[in-house]
Amino acid sequence: MSSQDLHGITLEAILLRLVDHYGWDQLGKRIDINCFISDPSIKSSLKFLRKTPWARSKVEELYRETRFTQ
């Protein structure tokens, strides 16, 4: 899947879906970044991910690879 597959999906929507699916603990284990491990919040994570392209790429990749249950 390419990044075009995420067209129209906001970073916030991606993050909310991942947190709902994995929880902060598992998300922090899958993507080792401090904003998911130390006092995580949607707001602080979005701020970090918007200014850190490599971390955003990892989040988008995990989103594409995750098999969500409806």
Task: Give the span between the Cα atoms of 54 and 9, in whole angstroms.
Answer: 18
Largest CA distance in the chain: 31
Instruction: List domains and CATH numbers for the chain.
Output: 3-65 (1.10.720.30)
User: CA angle at residue 68 from 62 to 69, to 5 degrees?
Assistant: 165
**Amino acid identity, residue 53?**
P
Tens-place pLDDT, residues 5-50: 788 899 999 999 999 999 999 999 999 999 999 999 999 999 999 9
* Residue at token pair 């955003």: 56
- Interacting residues of 64 by C-beta distance below 8 A, sequence separation 6+: 1, 5, 6
Tens-place pLDDT, residues 33-45: 999 999 999 999 9
